[in-house]
Structure 1
Amino acid sequence: MAEHLTLLPPATDAAAQLPRNVEAEAALLGALMIDNRIAEDVQLKLRAEHFYEPLHGRIYEALMKLLERDMVANPVTMKPMLEQDPALKELGGVAYLAQLTGNGAALIGARDFAAQIYDLALLRELVGVGRELVENALDTSEDVNPREQIEAAEVALYKVSEGEGETGSVKSFLSASTMAVQVAERALNSGGHLSGITTGINCLNEKIGGLHNSDLMILAGRPGMGKTSLATNIAYNASSRWVRDEADGIPREKNMGAKTAFFSLEMSADQLATRVLAEQSGISGEALRMGKISRADFQNLSRAARELQDLPLFIDDTPGLTIAALRTRARRLKRRHDIGFIVIDYLQLLQGSGKGNDNRVNEISEISRGLKTLAKELHVPVLALSQLSRAVEQREDKRPQLSDLRESGSIEQDADMVWFVFREDYYVAAKEPGDKEGAAHMEWAQEMERIYGLAELIVAKQRHGSTGRIRMKFDAKITRFSDLAEGYAPLEDYE
């Protein structure tokens, strides 16, 4: 068969070194024309561009077009589609197609041929990425940005490594329904309310069923409401549950935790770590920063630090990330550490890919779409924090609404869930009367006593279930959100 493939003279010495197996391509095409049923096994992964020889790619494409029309694909039916092909004419025209079917033994190894053709195509892609990387790195002109080159190389490598996943996104209903049943089974085994990754807060788990893969969740609030604290709490709870379940021998698919990536665009990594240490040691962050701790407190701090040293919580505090750079870094963490949950603090600090001439609404739209795409691409939940507009402060009822999201249209549309964190005591505290002996101050003190340490999480949008409000306890000293003690009635759901 090889003598019919003399149309493959390499253009250069470099091209001659590219990985390929032209004979395997010819054998596979012959087998496909002899038995069209083989296409059912190879067409999900193999595409025309995976063939080294362009003519073979065109033959494969023509063959697949016929099969899509429920027609038989053989040298006779393919003749009208290929007889004018210049490369085929050089090999004797349509007779070449008949010659490809001459080796019936190829039927036995057809699936292996397809796998090898695909693997060699990946290797050629890798060679291309490497060459481009070298050429770009050798370019020392003034407008070259090495960091951008590294990010571009990461994206290219990820596309090569995930090439198989990108072509397998179409699922049969059987496959999809099996996955749905597995989610339901996971919720049943957890005690009836947790089908995703735990947030560590039972009342929230019961409301949303945990953090679900491919979901984009937006957590929004005015400054001082504690949205970063809540995100940090959830990130810690998910990563610590991963460690606990793994230590208990629970298999990965049933683990209720997740290795977590925390992109902190506002706070530094050590500030974020201080929050986690404060929460776990019971010492306020202020006392930690100023050294106002006793020897016993320091021992508690050391114990907490030792327990957390193996915590799979990865903090990236690079400022001014673009959405493209964030996605590249997330892919890298997924590949290296198999992260299962991503937190971004916060959305408005990300930058779009525009050159500064776009308006901010379009930029936020690009960012929110990019975050949703990231959640689906890596198949992990993504929790992004967001600012609220000042419209909240103008209303008597300070509870946020969806319309309060800054540049809200796209954020609200792209999100699978939108949460608002609200602490009434924050606003009441600001209204303390000046006369500390008067009746007004006494009334204010009673109101503060009633609401102090209470927080609400408003689930304003949820694709998987109902909206509503959840009461939580907030310990401002150690910035920890937790479940309320038994006896507190849940808040009413929205209609």
Structure 2
Amino acid sequence: MTQSIPTVPYSLDAEEGVIGSLLLDAQSDNAQSVMAFLKPESFHSSHCQAIFSVLKEMNIHRKTIDSLTVNDELENRGLLHLVGGFSYLAQIAKNTPSAANVVGYAHVVRDKATERFALRQANQITALFYERNGMSAAEKLDVAQRLITEATDYAQTGNRQGLRRIDEVADRWILAIEARCNDPEAHRGLSTGIPDLDKLLYPKFIVKGSLFVIGARPKMGKTTVMTEMALHMGDVAKLPVAIFSLEMSEEQIFERMVGQQAHVNTDMFYQGAKNQEDWKKVYAAVERMRNHPRIWLDDQPGMTLAHIQAECRKLKRSEGKIGMIGVDYLTLMTTDKADTNALAFGNITKALKNLAKELDTVVVLLTQLNRNLEERANKRPMPSDSRESGQIEQDCDYWLGIYKERVYDDHADETLTELILRLNRHGKTGTVYVDQRDVEIYPCDQQEAERRAGKQANRKPLKEVMGF
């Protein structure tokens, strides 16, 4: 019994239906939509691929599109005989039932193109595991995960990795600008949920594909800022969030979030609280988070970069998108072998930056700072203070330092905290003030906060204030 040979997934009827619809009515909203989301390589038939490429270019240059004008354009380019001549164009147009069905035809074409792309990715994965190329099994699995993610992205967006002609980039940019102008809220960068910091980041906010580093000495509130951002992403922006905690357990992270959501002091979870109103707030916060589970937590000991990459790719495939990935914190991660710790951690920051771009999200990375900064008169953190990794300053798109004078001076303002945006590759830098109480962050009047900060500084000797 002979087995039938599998055929390449494609539908010639759908491909010719798209071409015929565009020849009949290229200016309708549906036709323009199809021109935007299909690409020449979406077509399997070489005839249809060549014709659609010409149609797309004619549309960009606002030329009239019908069977005669497309025939002339193909003839001028020496392609007419390759696509079957004018008779083929006329036949396609005649056999198209209705130009109104162009979107339906286009979705069939796109689905078949996705299947072909997925098959190519699957063949690459199979070949990868057969090859003896010196890669470890873990490295091969990482490549395989990336190839699967590329196939998923292609299914959702039609975009593929690799070289693209600049006119294709221009088309995508124009579509992105139109979408952003029509619905700015849905297409802007990611906001932090901290009002005054968002004002500093306005209008781009945190651009997707970015590495956002938060650096501070212990007890400054790094984790609090990260969880505040995570809660905003999950609860307000309604986007999935993944948090990888190497310092705290999942329960400890959740406890912080409950405190932030319920606006209560987390000490009550250890010594009890007689105020029943606080407990009502806690139960309401827990119920809200349970009913809208948009945050995923992972506290696996000895966490590696490969584990974070694999889990995030899996989440992206299941949820469609990720609003934010949080990693707490860099120097607790298990590293691969390298000549120095700085090089090993530098490899991690590069990979996290690449992961942000790959998944079109923001990676928020917490990092401890060197103890040496405490020997300075001015102890406000800078990117060069990052422990074990001078590479961070090169790889990150944003670098936010956190400073609380209270950590060094028992008489200083108890809650006043400085969020110092030292690096922003997409906009302004500067300092904003917040009040930090327990695990909560509250906005404060910036002018009044400057006065409070100045009052603290005036208590110090002049040489300490000036930093010498």
Query: Normalising TM by the smaller chain, what interval?
Result: 0.5 to 0.7
**Is the 1:198–1:205 Cα contact (8 Å) retained in structure 2?**
yes
**TM-score of the superposed pair, with normalisation by structure 1:** 0.64
Residue in structure 2 matched with residue 4 of structure 1 by the alignment: none
Q: Distance in 2 between matches of 1:137 and 1:157?
A: 18
Paired residue secondary structure (1:490): helix
2:436 equivalent to 1:474: yes
**Is the 1:275–1:479 Cα contact (8 Å) retained in structure 2?**
yes
Q: Distance in 2 between matches of 1:54 and 1:171?
A: 27
Residue in structure 1 matched with residue 353 of structure 2 by the alignment: 369
Residue in structure 2 matched with residue 96 of structure 1 by the alignment: 84
Written as runs of structure 1 = structure 2, the 5 A alignment for 1:28-67 is: 28-29=18-19, 42-54=34-46, 56-58=48-50, 60-61=52-53
Amino acid at match of 1:388: L
1:281-326 per-position Cα deviation (integer Å, ceiling 9, x unaligned): 74546x75xxx52474899558514532332433233422336435
Amino acid at match of 1:373: K
Q: Distance in 2 between matches of 1:305 and 1:418?
A: 36
1:380-438 per-position Cα deviation (integer Å, ceiling 9, x unaligned): x55332333444234221111233345455645641x432101222234xxxxxxxxxx
Residue in structure 2 matched with residue 328 of structure 1 by the alignment: 313
Q: Distance in 1 between matches of 2:217 and 2:285?
A: 33
Shift of the alpha carbon at 1:221? 0.9
2:283 equivalent to 1:310: no
Using the TM superposition, name which of 391-400 and 358-367 deviates more.
Answer: 358-367
**TM-score of the superposed pair, with normalisation by structure 2:** 0.67
2:385 equivalent to 1:423: no
Determine what percentage of the aligned residue pairs are the same residue. 20
2:329 equivalent to 1:346: yes
From 220, 223, 227, the counterpart of 2:218: 223
Residue in structure 2 matched with residue 252 of structure 1 by the alignment: none
**Is the 2:353–2:395 Cα contact (8 Å) retained in structure 1?**
no
Unaligned runs of 5+ residues in structure 2 are 64-68, 161-167, 455-468
1:176-229 per-position Cα deviation (integer Å, ceiling 9, x unaligned): 77258x459x9xxxxxxxx96462x44444444595552653221123322112
Change (3 A) 1:333 1:349: farther
Residue in structure 2 matched with residue 15 of structure 1 by the alignment: 6
Paired residue secondary structure (1:472): strand
Unaligned runs of 5+ residues in structure 1 are 1-11, 84-92, 187-194, 243-254, 429-447
Please tell me whether Structure 1 or Structure 2 has the larger radius of gyration of its CA atoms.
1
Q: Distance in 2 between matches of 1:183 and 1:82?
A: 45
Change (3 A) 1:486 1:153: closer
1:26-48 per-position Cα deviation (integer Å, ceiling 9, x unaligned): 45556767888798654432233
Q: Distance in 2 between matches of 1:143 and 1:217?
A: 30
**Is the 1:30–1:100 Cα contact (8 Å) retained in structure 2?**
no
Amino acid at match of 2:347: E
**Is the 2:153–2:159 Cα contact (8 Å) retained in structure 1?**
no
Q: Distance in 2 between matches of 1:294 and 1:37?
A: 68
Cα-Cα RMSD? 4.9
Shift of the alpha carbon at 1:66? 7.9
**Is the 1:227–1:385 Cα contact (8 Å) retained in structure 2?**
yes
From 268, 274, 283, the counterpart of 2:249: 268
From 85, 101, 105, the counterpart of 2:94: 105
From 170, 176, 201, the counterpart of 2:173: 170
Paired residue secondary structure (1:470): strand
Using the TM superposition, name which of 271-280 and 124-133 deviates more.
Answer: 124-133
**Is the 2:47–2:83 Cα contact (8 Å) retained in structure 1?**
no
Change (3 A) 1:179 1:414: farther
Q: Distance in 2 between matches of 1:143 and 1:462?
A: 37
Shift of the alpha carbon at 1:155? 1.2
